[in-house]
């Protein structure tokens, strides 16, 4: 599955917003990831977080941030959660509104174990 997460810090509203999108159309299966457009992605989850809770978790590190970000609806796998947490920590350091977008392709996670003779 190919997914992207749009993470936006809205300082004036005192919140962090994360939107999770995924490519769900079968006709895009053979489309190279670099050729995907925004309209290939469907919104599958949107989650808002209180700014104070995010700043507090950012000060405690990546593991605490992952715990703060995971919800019943938004529960990315560990490698994705770590990258999302790192990005949230990074954007929470500044005083301005910022958005970042992360793209993940499950094909990049495939690991083949080769037996040792």
Mean of the pLDDT values across residues 15-37? 85
pLDDT computed for residue 36 by the predictor = 86
Q: How confident is the model at residue 114 (pLDDT cuts 50, 70, 90)?
A: low
pLDDT, tens only, 44-92: 999 999 999 999 999 999 999 999 999 999 999 999 999 999 999 999 8
The dihedral of CA 105, 5, 62, 88: what is its sign?
positive
Q: CA dist 95 to 11, 27, 55, 63, 90, Å? A: 7, 42, 11, 23, 11
Q: How confident is the model at residue 112 (pLDDT cuts 50, 70, 90)?
A: low
The dihedral of CA 96, 101, 64, 15: what is its sign?
positive
Q: H or E stretch including 3?
A: strand 2-10
pTM for this entry: 0.86
């Amino acid at each position: 599955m190919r997914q992207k997460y749009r993470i936006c810090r809205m300082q004036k509203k005192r919140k962090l917003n994360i939107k999770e999108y995924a490519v769900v159309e079968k006709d895009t299966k053979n489309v190279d990831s670099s050729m995907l457009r925004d309209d290939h992605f469907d919104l599958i989850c949107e989650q808002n977080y209180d700014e104070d809770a995010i700043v507090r978790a950012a000060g405690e590190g990546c593991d605490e941030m992952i715990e703060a970000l995971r919800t019943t609806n938004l529960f990315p796998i560990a490698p994705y959660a770590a990258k999302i947490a790192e990005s949230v920590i990074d954007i929470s350091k500044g005083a301005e509104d910022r958005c970042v977008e992360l793209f993940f392709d499950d094909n990049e996670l495939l690991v083949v174990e080769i037996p040792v003779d």
